[in-house]
Amino acid sequence: MRILIIGGGGREHAIAWSLKRSATATELFIAPGNGGTVELGSNVDLKTGDHQSIVEFVVEQQIDMVIIGPEQPLVDGLADTLREHEIPVVGPSAAAARLEGSKAFSKDFMKRHSIPTAAYRTFGSDQLGEALEFVNEEGAPIVVKASGLAAGKGAIVCETVREAEEALISLMRDASLGSAGSTVVVESFMEGEEVSLFVLTDGDSYALLAPAQDHKRVGEGDLGPNTGGMGAYAPAPVLTEDLMEEALRTIIEPTLTGMHSDGCPYQGILYVGIMITSEGPKVVEYNCRFGDPETQVILPLMKSDPVDVFMALARGQFQDFALEMHPGAAVCVVLASQGYPGPYDTGHRISGVDATDERQTVIFHAGTRRTPGGELETTGGRVLGVSAVGENLKEALEFAYESVAKIEFDGAQFRRDIGHRGLKQQA
């Protein structure tokens, strides 16, 4: 089985790692990959925006399946291009990927199909004055979201009206996130605890992976600016069996049915960020792919053969698939560069990765590369994800932090409280 994975972060390393554990012999190609994926397959210099080059590579290399990791190529229609050439691919169409690509579209979709979410208003690029007037009328706390893709940094929780005004001016006038913030969604603040729910679907049938909980803030105690994610754990006990049933009935199934009725059935991986409020589960946002770093905890808990899982999705034949999960818990602790999510330096040598216990932990690379001499160095904000599986959350955390203590690079930062909500729930 020859498989091409599109992407170069920790999520794609986790996907490659899981595929290598399959009973099916696999040859992996990762485009562009990173310093960790090169140990599992061949890193390939393909531009994700050059769809024709990707198709040519797939044909020349006789690739059996393509798995698209990041959101941008999905929103840009790479899955559509591959399907037009009858190439099995895991990932939704561009029309379905609008659930993530446009917050304005997704909020209107939820309103149209009576899917619970926060009250909101959308403002176009020429409506800054109206948006400022709205936040002054509504008060704070309030949430300002860039409608377009913003690498996980487009949702700004504003504790004061002044913060909301600054966020709107930054996005709409100063273009701090480029075209992603030209249209904004301003929504009511939802009180509660957030959980990430991952749905594997062929558009009709679906199955669920373990619910996970991300840690978006850079600082311990959930302080500081939002990041792409500083760690995760699964399963998240806040999503009880009763709440899960409610989320399926009011969110997941209406979403899949709604996409069908709107003429863009969803095929692939649907990641739903859900807030557990006093009124029940509500959608925070949709994503059209696996989360990062949630992938680094949910795939280690997946017992079913990953090649079989992904191929069933790629072929749209998921209706008879029985997904199995391992018991226990998994955690991921992210090691990031000093200064992240703001400006940071790269090129720092990394040591200690080989000193970790592979029986207990696995190191997923994100912002790394190998030098010509074979040494590992930093290339990004989030550098490594240290993942571990244990019989319970406490044990998994102990394994992960034991390995974190062995890894060093200049300016390394990480949170020491990953999984704190789960531990409280289980106490």
Q: How far is 104 from 186, CA to CA, in rounded Å?
A: 10
User: Are 54 and 138 in a shared domain?
Assistant: no
User: Are 277 and 343 in a shared domain?
Assistant: no
User: Are 158 and 242 in a shared domain?
Assistant: no
User: Are 200 and 279 in a shared domain?
Assistant: yes
Query: In terms of DSSP bridges, do strands 193-201 and 206-208 run parallel, antiparallel, or are they unpaired?
Result: antiparallel
Of 285, 314, 343, which one is at a domain's C-terminal end? 314
pLDDT of residue 17: 97
102 domain-assigned: no
User: Are 307 and 418 in a shared domain?
Assistant: no
29 domain-assigned: yes
User: Are 273 and 176 in a shared domain?
Assistant: no
Q: Are 390 and 399 in contact (CB under 8 A)?
A: yes
User: Are 86 and 150 in a shared domain?
Assistant: no
pTM for this entry? 0.94
108 domain-assigned: no
User: Are 64 and 163 in a shared domain?
Assistant: no
Handedness of CA 362, 367, 372, 375 (dihedral sign): negative
110 domain-assigned: no
Token readout for 213 is: 């909980």
Q: What is the mean pLDDT of each run of 10 residues along the chain (427 residues)?
A: 96 97 94 94 94 96 97 96 96 97 96 97 95 95 93 86 96 93 95 95 92 95 90 96 96 97 96 96 96 96 95 88 92 97 95 83 95 93 96 96 96 96 83
CATH number of the domain to which 376 belongs: 3.90.600.10
User: Are 137 and 171 in a shared domain?
Assistant: yes
CATH number of the domain to which 236 belongs: 3.30.470.20
Q: Residue 9 is part of which domain span?
A: 2-94
User: Are 281 and 365 in a shared domain?
Assistant: no
CATH number of the domain to which 46 belongs: 3.40.50.20
Of 43, 75, 94, which one is at a domain's C-terminal end? 94
pLDDT of residue 226: 84
Number of domains observed in the structure of the chain = 4
User: Are 34 and 78 in a shared domain?
Assistant: yes
Of 259, 285, 314, which one is at a domain's C-terminal end? 314
Which positions ≥6 away from 203 have C-beta within 8 Å? Answer: 256, 259, 260, 265, 266, 267, 316
104 domain-assigned: no
pLDDT of residue 427: 64
212 domain-assigned: yes
CATH number of the domain to which 164 belongs: 3.30.1490.20
298 domain-assigned: yes
321 domain-assigned: no
- Alpha carbon dihedral 278, 297, 83, 75, in 10-degree steps, equals 50
User: Are 310 and 333 in a shared domain?
Assistant: no
